[in-house]
Amino acid sequence: MKIIVTPSQPYSDQKPGTSGLRKKVKIFQQEHYLENFVQSLFDTLVVPNDAVLVVGGDGRYHNRQAIQTIISMAAANGFTRVLIGQGGILSTPAASHVIRKYKTFGGMVLSASHNQGGIHGDFGIKYNIGNGGPAPEKITDEVFAKSKVIAEYKISDLPLVDIDTIGETQFAGAVSDQTFTVQVIDAVQDYADLMQSLFDFKAIRQLLASGFEMKFDAMHAVTGPYAKEIFVNRLGASTDSLMNCEPSEDFGGGHPDPNLTYAEELVKIMFAGENALDFGAASDGDGDRNMILGQNFFVTPSDSLAVLAANATLVPAYKNGIAGVARSMPTSGAVDRVAAKLNIPSFETPTGWKFFGNLMDAGQVTLCGEESFGTSSSHVREKDGLWAVLFWLNVIAVKQMSVEAILKAHWLEYGRNVYSRHDYEAIPTEAANSVIAHIKSQFSSLPGQVFGSYTVKLCDDFSYHDPIDGSVSNNQGIRVLFTDGSRIVFRLSGTGTEGATLRIYLEAYEPDSAKHHLDAQVALAEMIRIALQISQLVEKTGRVAPTVIT
Ligand code: G1P
Ligand code: ZN
């Protein structure tokens, strides 16, 4: 093998966002674009001898081509072995597991998560460190700095590598005596084994055999093959409990985002009145998100995290209890109430899974979650869609209660943190910035102001001080906190690829069980009006309604 040093020009836009570098496919297809980013990353990492890299993606358009480039560059940058999911496919949680199980140096996950795929869609690349979790900001900031001055990259002259046949291919290395090995691994078995080691598969199998009807929607994305192995082969579910389980490069033309708007087909089945099934779930493009539905009933992700924490000891892996919980700042405080009752710590971190890694490595938390349909535990260092689905099935199998009954009982015990998120997608960046600037300009005047039945207590731009490594992350979202504990959070998305996406997160606490049945949009109507009044969003963006409400 020869190493070819190729001259290149820097791009100015390779700043990783909430979860890696995400851009339109067309941007990634520009000359040397991917190569520049990968080289900046390898230069940041300082690759040791005998380093092994895991590479896999969610199968979206451009995945296979990008994998060939990364293999060739890994060979030229000191890696001696690359582990590839068969067909180039690995779900994000499965990649995290493979990195941990085989104690590799790190891994590259090729995905733009829930963003649309296909030639006109998005592509993305994210680096995960040896603990299996997303690289911390210290690394991603340095990669960005290097990408702005890069002048050349190193690539080898390897031929196209077979990534579809399980097994190893060896190549003579650039240095004599050294070999470079490409190992194609079964993407599904390791992960399915991990799930089986955590949950009570016998109890779930009995539940599914008892007439309990479920539907899992893989949204034409990466979890399809995992779902077939786990639900059908190992848990005995019928094949019609699964839908959209053939992964496609453009996710069947859809938006692989498991929420009430984009998982429309599943929502219709689960809200079919008397004909609705007992349990419905969906996961996203790369398999790290989940949505949980009961019969005619939606579980907000914030509530889901709280319910899982409260019932963790019903699951074999957590039968001795959990060490602590963590949630991203915009996620509702429902899980904090459970932690208080269990007398375990709860942490509030910025948005993005990378902030949970240190807490889990230090053994301070076991369960983590985000309001954006992300839940997981320390079994990996990523959020994990199928894990959340299995957790719910395990809890239902033990409690023998419906999803709705579990939620109602939970609210009765803890009160309800009524919650909703309103997204305004693809607004012109300037208009979005002016909304944020307008809210910030009121920081000193808002406290004490009365809006209908609410009084502002304080407002700030959230900062996080990592208790483990002491790092500080500023500007993580604007919080308007009210005296009764309700709050409104405004934040610009760090994963969008078109204009800006403004998210408004609304939360109010309702202790009165007579009001727990109310629809969140009705219960939060006044807060929604206040959010629009404070932000002047309609006036500044011309948008009269959110794109997505969850
Ligand atoms: C969004 C979610 C965030 C999640 C991220 C990656 O980021 O809000 O919770 O970690 O996707 O899945 P955002 O677009 O808000 O920056
Ligand atoms: Zn995802």
Ligand 1: centre distance to CA 412 (Å) = 30
Q: Is the pLDDT of residue 331 over 90?
A: yes
Proximal ligand: closest to the CA of 497: 1
Q: What is the pLDDT of residue 416?
A: 97
Mean pLDDT over 20-36 rounds to 97
Spatial distance between the Cα atoms of 54 and 33, rounded to a whole number of angstroms? 21
Q: Is the pLDDT of residue 308 over 90?
A: yes
412 by Cβ neighbours in 10 Å (0-12 / 13-18 / 19+) ranks as exposed
Ligand 1: centre distance to CA 233 (Å) = 32
Spatial neighbors of 465 by CB under 8 A, at least 6 apart, are 471, 472
Spatial distance between the Cα atoms of 258 and 293, rounded to a whole number of angstroms? 11
Q: Is the pLDDT of residue 37 over 90?
A: yes
Atom number, ligand 1, closest to the C-alpha of residue 114: 12
Mean pLDDT over 442-458 rounds to 96
Q: Could you state, in order of their start, the residue ranges of all structural domains in the chain? A: 3-185, 189-414, 416-549
Q: Long-range contacts of range 295-300, CB-CB < 8 Å, 24 or more positions apart?
A: 295/270, 295/402, 295/403, 295/404, 296/270, 296/271, 296/272, 296/404, 297/270, 297/403, 297/404, 297/407, 298/260, 299/403, 299/407, 300/332, 300/371, 300/419, 300/420, 300/520, 300/550
Q: What is the pLDDT of residue 496?
A: 77
In short, whether 351's Cβ falls inside 6 Å of ligand 1 is yes
Task: State the CB neighbour count (10 A cutoff) for residue 163.
Answer: 22
Atom number, ligand 1, closest to the C-alpha of residue 491: 15
Q: What is the pLDDT of residue 173?
A: 83
Q: Is the pLDDT of residue 404 over 90?
A: yes
Per the CB < 8 A criterion, the answer to whether 371 and 349 are in contact is no
In short, whether 290's Cβ falls inside 6 Å of ligand 1 is no
> In which band, very low, low, confident or very high, does the pLDDT at 494 lie, cut at 50, 70 and 90?
confident
Q: Is the pLDDT of residue 67 over 90?
A: yes
In short, whether 370's Cβ falls inside 6 Å of ligand 1 is yes
In short, whether 356's Cβ falls inside 6 Å of ligand 1 is no
In short, whether 494's Cβ falls inside 6 Å of ligand 1 is yes
> In which band, very low, low, confident or very high, does the pLDDT at 461 lie, cut at 50, 70 and 90?
very high
Q: What is the mean pLDDT of the chain?
A: 96
Helices and strands (DSSP H and E) totals, the chain: 18, 27
Q: What is the pLDDT of residue 498?
A: 81
**463 catalytically annotated:** no
pLDDT tens-digit profile of 3-21?
A: 999 999 999 999 998 889 9
Q: What is the pLDDT of residue 393?
A: 98
What architecture (CATH level 2) is domain 416-549?
2-Layer Sandwich (3.30)
Q: What is the pLDDT of residue 263?
A: 95
Proximal ligand: closest to the CA of 113: 2
Closest residue by Cα to atom 1, ligand 1, is 495
Q: Is the pLDDT of residue 174 over 90?
A: no
In short, whether 493's Cβ falls inside 6 Å of ligand 1 is yes
The fold adopted by the segment(s) 189-414 is Alpha-D-Glucose-1,6-Bisphosphate; Chain A, domain 3 (3.40.120)
Q: What is the pLDDT of residue 238?
A: 96
> In which band, very low, low, confident or very high, does the pLDDT at 495 lie, cut at 50, 70 and 90?
confident
pLDDT tens-digit profile of 241-266?
A: 999 999 999 999 999 999 998 999 99
Rounded to 5°, the CA angle 328-332-333 comes to 95
| CB burial readout 57-75, b (16+ within 10 A) else e | bbbbbbbbebbeebbbbbb
Task: Note the CATH number of domain 3-185.
Answer: 3.40.120.10
Ligand 2: centre distance to CA 482 (Å) = 32
Closest residue by Cα to atom 2, ligand 1, is 372
Pull the structure tokens for residue 384: 């994990």
289 DSSP 8-state letter: B
Closest residue by Cα to atom 8, ligand 1, is 372
In short, whether 375's Cβ falls inside 6 Å of ligand 1 is no
Q: What is the pLDDT of residue 226?
A: 97
Query: Percent of the chain scored above 90 by pLDDT?
Result: 95
Q: Is the pLDDT of residue 139 over 80?
A: yes
Ligand 2: centre distance to CA 453 (Å) = 38
Task: Give the up-direction half-sphere exposure of residue 504: CA atoms within 13 A in the CB hemisphere.
Answer: 27
Q: What is the pLDDT of residue 185?
A: 97
In short, whether 495's Cβ falls inside 6 Å of ligand 1 is yes
Q: Is the pLDDT of residue 482 over 80?
A: yes
Which amino acid makes up residue 328? S
Proximal ligand: closest to the CA of 91: 2
Domains 3-185 and 189-414 alike in fold:
yes
Q: Which of 125, 304, 464, 495 to mutate to test the pocket of ligand 1 (most atoms within 8 A of CB)?
A: 495
State the catalytic residue, choosing from 40, 91, 113, 147.
Answer: 113
Please give the helix or strand (H or E) that residue 51 lies within, else none. Answer: strand 51-57
